[in-house]
């Protein structure tokens, strides 16, 4: 049991971590060695076009985008759970998923911007619905994490953070609507995944990306949850310790008073 | 709805009116809006003029956006002021002990901020007409947009003001929490004003619909969530 209070690792999480590392090595091989760059020939002019090597970024970008939504949705559900049940488990889950989700969301924005430079010829496109919605989502959860880092009584902070998370999730469809109406356009391509327009090995690598980054996500969530749980236990332990010390102090005072009284009687 | 339900709703709004009247009375006596928030808002309009090289055509084109960015910045001050009223002399404890429903307190405080925002918007409209040379093409759309956006900003601001109050660094926390949530209001109100001021060819009435939905959602969410805030 000593291990459970000094480390966030366990045999299960170490196995998960090892599997994730092997998966990442495999994904790197597929992304950079086995798959070809996206080069196509124009049917009439014969000129080369496509995403070229930038396509390899999508093996990271697309899974991260999906995981961002998974994380923030988990955060919203856990926040609602906390407001209903008031259990620390819900609060720690909400905090962990928001933190991991914000990292994923930041990576989506950065990789998307790097990918956009050669493919769209711009680092940033104002008016692209998905881009703007993702940015606002990132800013909303940056605020959430700032609230989490503000010193406050734990239950008060948990309650307020839960409300911020729920408002953020409700706000997102409105942001999406407003940005869509704002420009009514997107540079993002329509899903080629559903129509299986992308080639076999590329599709396989993308799917492998989903699995591997899903494992990375699970590993991060597991450890972040355990860190949060240890922090929660530590805070409770400190309170218990302070109460015990105060009791001991009171008992000493009582004994002193009793001795004083006896002494006075002599 | 039975007579008990009607009575509860009536009590909700009566209490809300009491809270709003109290906040507005404090504002009328302290004159923070008139002496500090309104001059700050006008100052921001002037600074935008300097930043854009005092080019009247550019200013007229971007007047709707500059107007709403100014409203949001000034609203931060109004919201912070509204939340700080509750902490002076531990007033929020008095409100809790009064037995008023949390939703009444929320609606009352939001209504007071709403009135202040409307005053501010009137001043700023005069400001953009005089300083930027804007012309009002559709007064009805302009007025309705100002009202709908003020509802959204006041309700969301009141909720987040209560949320940030009592926490360390609340002055810096409030903007980063509130401004991203108000992104749809900024976009919607700007586009609607584009139409009302003839700055761009867009359908401002459609945007007004989005603002109304935002205001409604924010009012309902705020009234429901405010209870968790004042439990502290």
**What averages of pLDDT result for each successive group of 10 residues across chain A (266 residues)?**
65 95 96 88 82 90 93 95 94 97 96 90 83 90 94 89 92 76 62 57 93 97 95 82 82 76 50
- Compute the C-alpha angle A93/A59/A8, nearest 5°: 30
Contact A168 B184 (CB under 8 A): no
Residues of B at the A interface, defined by Cβ within 8 angstroms: 156, 159, 163-164, 166-169, 173, 176-177, 179-181, 183-184, 187-188, 191, 206-207, 210, 213-214, 217, 221, 225, 228-229, 231-232
- ipTM exceeds 0.90: no
Task: Give the closest-approach CA distance of B60 to chain A in angstroms.
Answer: 19
Residue A264, H or E segment: helix A200-265
* Joined tokens for residue A161: 């953070």
Q: Is B1 helix (H, G, I), strand (E, B) or coil?
A: coil
Q: Is B132 helix (H, G, I), strand (E, B) or coil?
A: coil
**Per-residue pLDDT at B18:** 94
Residue A198 included in any domain: yes
* Joined tokens for residue B124: 């700023």
| A51 phi, psi to nearest 5 deg | -95, -10
Range of the domain at A161: 43-265
Residue A195 included in any domain: yes
Task: Give the closest-approach CA distance of B28 to chain A in angstroms.
Answer: 31
Cβ partners under 8 Å of residue B179, min gap 6: A139, B72, B76
What is the rounded distance in angstroms from the CA atom of residue B92 to the CA atom of residue B50? 42
**Testing the interface with A: which of B183, B202, B228 to mutate, by most A Cβ within 10 A?**
B183
Residue with tokens 């926490």: B167
| A40 phi, psi to nearest 5 deg | -125, 160
Q: Which of A160, A168, A182 sits opposite B163 (nearest CB)?
A: A160
Largest CA distance in chain A: 116
Residue A28 included in any domain: no
What is the rounded distance in angstroms from the CA atom of residue B208 to the CA atom of residue A46? 49
Cα Rg, chain A, nearest whole Å = 26
- Compute the C-alpha angle B96/B98/B101, nearest 5°: 65
DSSP state of B33: I
Task: Give the closest-approach CA distance of A98 to chain B in angstroms.
Answer: 15
CA dist list (Å): B19 to A123, A212, B15, B83: 49, 55, 6, 13
Residue A134 included in any domain: yes
Contact B184 A175 (CB under 8 A): yes
**Per-residue pLDDT at A248:** 83
Instruction: Name the stretches of chain B with pLDDT < 70.
Output: 1-2, 230-232
Residue with tokens 């925002």: B117
What residues form DSSP beta bridges with A128?
A185
Asked if B71 contacts B153 with a C-beta cutoff of 8 angstroms, the reply is yes
CA dist list (Å): A144 to A6, A18, B110, B165, B166: 28, 32, 22, 15, 16
Size of interface A-B (CB pairs under 8 A): 87
Q: Is A184 left (phi over 0), alpha (psi -120 to 50) or beta?
A: left
Residue among B103, B109, B112, B111 nearest B86 (CA): B109
Cβ partners under 8 Å of residue A179, min gap 6: A127, A129, A132, A133, B187
Residue with tokens 């935002």: B214
**Per-residue pLDDT at B99:** 80
Helices A58-85, A88-119: inter-axial angle, 10-degree rounding: 160
Residue A19 included in any domain: no
Cβ partners under 8 Å of residue A98, min gap 6: A71, A72, A75, A141, A144, A145, A148, A165
Residue with tokens 């940015």: A135
What is the rounded distance in angstroms from the CA atom of residue A197 to the CA atom of residue A204? 13
Buried b (16+ CB within 10 A) or exposed e, A115-125: bbeebbeeeeb
Asked if B207 contacts A184 with a C-beta cutoff of 8 angstroms, the reply is no
Residue A10 included in any domain: no
Residue A26 included in any domain: no
Contacts A143 to B, Cβ<8 Å: 173, 176-177, 180
DSSP state of A189: P
Contacts B210 to A, Cβ<8 Å: 174, 177-178, 181
Asked if A161 contacts A94 with a C-beta cutoff of 8 angstroms, the reply is yes
Whether residue A109 lies within 8 A of chain B, CB to CB, comes out as: no
Asked if B19 contacts B109 with a C-beta cutoff of 8 angstroms, the reply is yes
Residue A5 included in any domain: no
What is the rounded distance in angstroms from the CA atom of residue B17 to the CA atom of residue B219? 15
Residue with tokens 């509750």: B86
Contacts B206 to A, Cβ<8 Å: 181
Report the number of distinct structural domains present in chain A: 1
**Per-residue pLDDT at A82:** 96
Q: Which of A156, A157, A175 sits opposite B183 (nearest CB)?
A: A175
Asked if B103 contacts B223 with a C-beta cutoff of 8 angstroms, the reply is yes
* Joined tokens for residue B146: 């100002």
């Amino acid at each position: 049991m000593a291990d459970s209070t000094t480390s966030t690792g366990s045999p299960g999480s170490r196995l998960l971590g090892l599997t994730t590392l092997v998966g990442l090595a495999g994904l790197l091989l597929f992304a950079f060695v086995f798959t070809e760059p996206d080069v196509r020939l124009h049917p009439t002019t014969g000129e080369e076009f496509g995403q070229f090597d930038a396509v390899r970024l999508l093996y990271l970008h697309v899974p991260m985008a999906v995981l961002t939504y998974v994380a923030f949705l988990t955060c919203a559900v856990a926040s609602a759970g906390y407001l209903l049940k008031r259990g620390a488990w819900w609060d720690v889950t909400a905090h962990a998923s928001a933190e991991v989700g914000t990292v994923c969301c930041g990576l989506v924005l950065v990789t998307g911007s790097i990918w956009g430079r050669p493919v769209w010829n711009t680092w940033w496109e104002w008016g692209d619905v998905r881009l703007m919605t993702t940015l606002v989502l990132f800013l909303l959860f940056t605020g959430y994490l700032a609230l989490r880092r503000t010193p406050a009584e734990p239950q008060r902070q948990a309650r307020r953070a839960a409300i911020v998370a729920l408002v953020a999730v409700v706000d997102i469809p409105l942001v999406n609507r407003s940005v869509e109406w704002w420009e009514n356009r997107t540079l993002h391509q329509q899903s080629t995944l559903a129509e299986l327009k992308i080639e076999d090995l590329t599709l396989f690598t993308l799917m492998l990306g989903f699995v591997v980054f899903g494992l990375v996500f699970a590993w991060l969530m597991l450890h972040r949850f355990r860190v949060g749980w240890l922090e929660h236990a530590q805070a409770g332990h400190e309170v218990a310790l302070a109460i015990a010390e105060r009791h001991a102090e009171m008992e000493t005072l009582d004994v002193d008073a009793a001795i004083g009284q006896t002494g006075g009687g002599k | 709805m039975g007579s008990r339900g009607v009575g509860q709703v009536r009590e909700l709004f009566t209490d809300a009116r009491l809270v709003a009247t109290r906040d507005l009375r404090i504002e009328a006596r302290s004159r923070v809006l008139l002496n500090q928030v309104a001059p700050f808002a006008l100052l921001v309009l002037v600074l935008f003029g300097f930043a854009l090289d005092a080019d009247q055509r550019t200013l007229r084109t971007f007047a709707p956006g500059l107007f709403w960015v100014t409203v949001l910045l000034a609203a931060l001050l109004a919201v912070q002021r509204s939340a700080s009223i509750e902490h002076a002399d531990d007033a929020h404890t008095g409100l809790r002990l009064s037995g008023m429903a949390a939703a009444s307190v929320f609606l009352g405080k939001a209504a007071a901020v709403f009135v202040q925002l409307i005053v501010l918007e009137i001043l700023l409209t005069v400001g953009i007409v005089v300083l930027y040379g804007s012309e009002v093409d559709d007064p009805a759309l302009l007025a309705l947009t100002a009202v709908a956006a003020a509802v959204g900003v006041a309700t969301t601001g009141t909720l987040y003001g209560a949320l940030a109050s009592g926490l360390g660094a609340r002055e810096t926390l409030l903007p980063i929490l509130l401004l991203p949530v108000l992104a749809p209001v900024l976009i919607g109100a700007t586009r609607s004003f584009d139409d009302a001021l003839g700055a761009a060819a867009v359908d401002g009435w459609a945007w007004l619909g989005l603002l109304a939905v935002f205001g409604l959602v924010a009012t309902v969410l705020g009234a429901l969530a405010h209870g968790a805030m004042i439990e502290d």
